[in-house]
Amino acid sequence: LALLTPGFTSQPQKVMNCLMHVKPYAEEQIPISTQSSLAQRIDGLLCWALRHWLALFLTPMLVFVTLNFLAPVAMHEGWETLGRLLYVLYSPFCHQLPQRSFFFFGEKLTYRLGEILAVYPYNDPWQLRHFIGTEAMGYKVAWSDRMISFYFMTPIFALIYPLMQRFGRKLKPLPFWLMLLLLAPITLDGMTHLFSDVLYGISAGGFRDTNAWLAQLTNNAFPGFYAGDHYGTFNWWMRIITGVLAAWGLALHYIPWLDRVMQQELRHQCQ
């Protein structure tokens, strides 16, 4: 307005003085005390999250790994929409092949591939993974047995860290080389299964289906132990054991390391 006033434009010093006394709108709207209070709340929330980071991390993880057991429960109770939704939700994290899965509410905990093909005659893996069970056989858990041992045991092993702290013992992170060593069995077991299935098919007697090499090494001392993927076989035990070892390695390497990082941030940000 000053610039439009007749005669005012000829006095540049007055124009500058006028502009310098104009206050930003935001400063008039938000008092300094309010800005300070908001910053304190944000800092307080950050410090609270740093103090309780492990609970904030493990709680949703435990809920997620537990809900996959709800899929067969939902199917058994007739909540088919919920059950199928859970199978779809967990499918990106697992192959969901039924011959390598646990079944609830049926005659057996696990089934041989031949028993499954008798009621669902599709041996293509991409088709077979969609078989969720029947009323007589029960319904499979949304994850395979290996993934249950791996995903479920990871947060369980992570809980060892705060429990040890309660008893006055602070765990150091597992060495990186030891974590890699514990991950090696699940990698080897999973890759050999994959190669066997790709080269020979899941029902054509591949080297990880018959495990004839192991029978030869042990002079066929345990006849019912070698072939198949069902409960009690070599393949079943390897999936469970390798999943547990991998979970142990990841949890006890990364959880203590992350806690050290969080404690450093806590001391730096929340003194």
pLDDT band at residue 2, thresholds of 50, 70 and 90? Answer: very low
CB neighbourhood size of 144 (10 A): 24
pLDDT in tens, 149-170: 999 999 999 999 888 888 878 8
Distances (CA, A) of 179 to 98, 182, 259: 30, 5, 17
> The pTM is what?
0.80
Q: What is the mean pLDDT of the chain?
A: 86
CA 65 centroid distance within chain:
7
Encode pLDDT of 184-197 as tens digits: 999 999 999 999 98
Q: Give the helix/strand (H/E) hosting 81.
A: helix 80-90
pLDDT band at 23 (very low <50, low <70, confident <90, very high): low
In angstroms, how far is the first alpha carbon of the chain from the final one?
50
What is the residue extent of each domain of the chain?
A: 52-269
Asked if residue 36 has pLDDT above 90, the reply is no
Instruction: Single out the residue of 72, 65, 108, 104 nearest to residue 229, CA to CA.
Output: 108
Tokens of 186: 């699940």
Mean pLDDT, rounded, for 245-264: 93
189/144 Cα distance (integer angstroms): 14
What confidence tier does 14 reach under pLDDT thresholds 50, 70, 90?
Answer: low
Q: Show the tokens assigned to 19.
A: 């502009």
pLDDT tens, position by position, 45-88? 888 888 889 999 999 999 999 999 999 999 999 999 999 999 99
Q: Which position has the higher pLDDT, 116 or 26?
A: 116
83, 85, 90, 96 alpha-carbon torsion, rounded to 10°: 60
99 phi/psi in degrees, rounded to 5: -70, -5
Cα separation, 176 vs 178, whole angstroms: 5
Is 214 a residue whose pLDDT tops 90? yes
Percent of the chain predicted with pLDDT > 70: 86
